Structure 1
């Protein structure tokens, strides 16, 4: 059974100032999602499922269906504010949905095979898809999940600090814990550091970080549903609280329900956190086209 690629594309892109999920970065206006799907097809994924807001459906279908028809199966899942569907008998007023792990839960009826989760607006590189496809077809189990671990110095922006999930990895290569560092940046000497309430701390440049590239079986839906119910109970008066995938991973690890293998990659991650990042991502993709990694016209 071929694994499924689940793309988190329901975000509002507030810092970027536009709907960056469908912004063009390649020589023929290819989006970052296009490159992820292209790599996933090449790596052996059989289906792509988009998690979007329902009002974006026609927009997404108009962009992706003509390109992907006959190449990979597509499906669309909606992330919304309806809590009844999760067995939660209350209405909570919020400006935006409940976060990445809530988005994954929205796909619980659509996915029946091992799957991986990625962000729509992140460029991950083929190596990551190849390694994840291998994990999902040979190793994954209901108590054995994974994430792709990037080197922190290959994920930073030159235009400001970023948030990164810093992984603590044991001798077996499994994640022991993940710590969200909200201010990670390059120091003047090209070293990496993060800031918190206590001040600045150095991070080794090869520290593994999560860029939200996770591998699961459908068992994770039942495993996280009760956590989500508890999260809503605890945060119904906190409109900005978000139910993130690392929260689920942390609880599954601590309760012994599942382990998370950190699959290392040397791939460079590109992202558009800031508007100024866009030309750098365009240049990076252009270089990959020139060296033959990607064709000039991705879907020709």
Structure 2
């Protein structure tokens, strides 16, 4: 059992819209990846181990890129996420090439994690305060059925270059999650921020809504619920070649069934990421501004060391 929480990094995405392996693309002054900054922030906040979920097709390249970055003393493990990794009784439908999604990625990591952990997307920049909120929550929460979700202000999470997916959160007066709904097509448009779901009428959002960016904090007791959720998803959507088992769907199910409570940890940070190739220039500038402001050292790799 590890005394410090583990950081679970979801890095198996195919980056279809980005056009290259953005998980190892350089954004910092010395070629640092976005993952570098996430690991740096997590270590500062008190995390003690990193587990990467990757596809076998990119694992060799990914390992080589990560190997030269982090201190030798940092425990790192790799978990493969493949289409044929499914619960007993289910098979990959003919023609399926799309990964099963973020919920599936967490499920395949279950055997590698026995301690409290946080989940992040490998291509999202969350900011140090977000990791500090998660680490504090995992240190102080003693209820195995209480989990955490970092909530971002919607207007702080959009891309200027196209539509994005966000988990829209409904939060009660005590700061606990009531529901999270995955909206898959949110973008800036004439008149404001619009969400246009397939087959539905377009609606407007104010920008002040709380959304999930898949930075979540869990106790290991959550893993059986991922397994159950995955089986239910496959039973209803297994032949759909495009359907994905989203991480927020598991959290929403936990809350609505009364199985667990999820504390929403509101962060002041401004998210940025690289959904589209055009996003890279802005991401590079965001990091450079933080380096110049002293938030991060210029040579991040030399500064990486476990707490």
TM-score, scaled relative to structure 1: 0.94
Give 1:66's aligned residue: 68
TM-superposed CA distance for 1:187, in Å, is: 4.7
TM-superposed CA distance for 1:116, in Å, is: 0.6
Give 1:43's aligned residue: 45
After superposition, give the CA deviation of every residue in 1:168-226 in whole Å (9 maximum; x if it has no partner). 1110111111122233233557x54434533332x233211000111111111112212
TM-superposed CA distance for 1:236, in Å, is: 2.2
Q: Check the 8 A contact 1:78/1:106 in 2, yes or no.
A: yes
Whether 2:172 is the aligned partner of 1:182: answer no
Per mean C-alpha deviation after superposition, the further-off stretch among 231-240 and 263-272 is 231-240
Give 2:21's aligned residue: 19
Q: Check the 8 A contact 1:166/1:178 in 2, yes or no.
A: yes
Q: Check the 8 A contact 1:83/1:89 in 2, yes or no.
A: no
Give 2:88's aligned residue: 87
CA distance in structure 1 between the aligned counterparts of 2:69 and 2:298, rounded to whole angstroms: 15
CA distance in structure 1 between the aligned counterparts of 2:163 and 2:57, rounded to whole angstroms: 32
**Matched length:** 297
TM-superposed CA distance for 1:91, in Å, is: 4.2
CA distance in structure 2 between the aligned counterparts of 1:123 and 1:66, rounded to whole angstroms: 21
Give 1:216's aligned residue: 218
Give 1:122's aligned residue: 124
Q: Check the 8 A contact 1:140/1:216 in 2, yes or no.
A: no
TM-superposed CA distance for 1:273, in Å, is: 1.3
Give 2:274's aligned residue: 272
Question: Can you give the 5+ residue segments of structure 1 that lack an aligned partner in the other structure?
Answer: none
| CA pair 55-141 structure 1, distance change in 2 beyond 3 A | farther
TM-score, scaled relative to structure 2: 0.92
Give 1:199's aligned residue: 202
Give 2:239's aligned residue: 237
CA RMSD of aligned residues (A): 1.6
Give 2:305's aligned residue: none
TM-superposed CA distance for 1:89, in Å, is: 4.8
Q: Check the 8 A contact 1:149/1:262 in 2, yes or no.
A: yes
Larger RCO: Structure 1 or Structure 2 (Cα < 8 Å, ≥ 6 residues apart)?
A: 2
Q: Check the 8 A contact 1:181/1:194 in 2, yes or no.
A: yes
CA distance in structure 2 between the aligned counterparts of 1:187 and 1:92, rounded to whole angstroms: 37
CA distance in structure 2 between the aligned counterparts of 1:49 and 1:217, rounded to whole angstroms: 15
Q: Check the 8 A contact 1:163/1:184 in 2, yes or no.
A: yes
Q: Check the 8 A contact 1:140/1:217 in 2, yes or no.
A: no
Whether 2:3 is the aligned partner of 1:29: answer no
Report the 3-state secondary structure (helix = DSSP H, G, I; strand = E; otherwise coil) of the residue aligned with 1:14. Answer: coil
Question: Can you give the 5+ residue segments of structure 2 that lack an aligned partner in the other structure?
Answer: 303-307
Per mean C-alpha deviation after superposition, the further-off stretch among 62-71 and 119-128 is 62-71
Per mean C-alpha deviation after superposition, the further-off stretch among 39-48 and 70-79 is 70-79
CA distance in structure 2 between the aligned counterparts of 1:182 and 1:283, rounded to whole angstroms: 27
Report the 3-state secondary structure (helix = DSSP H, G, I; strand = E; otherwise coil) of the residue aligned with 2:211. Answer: strand
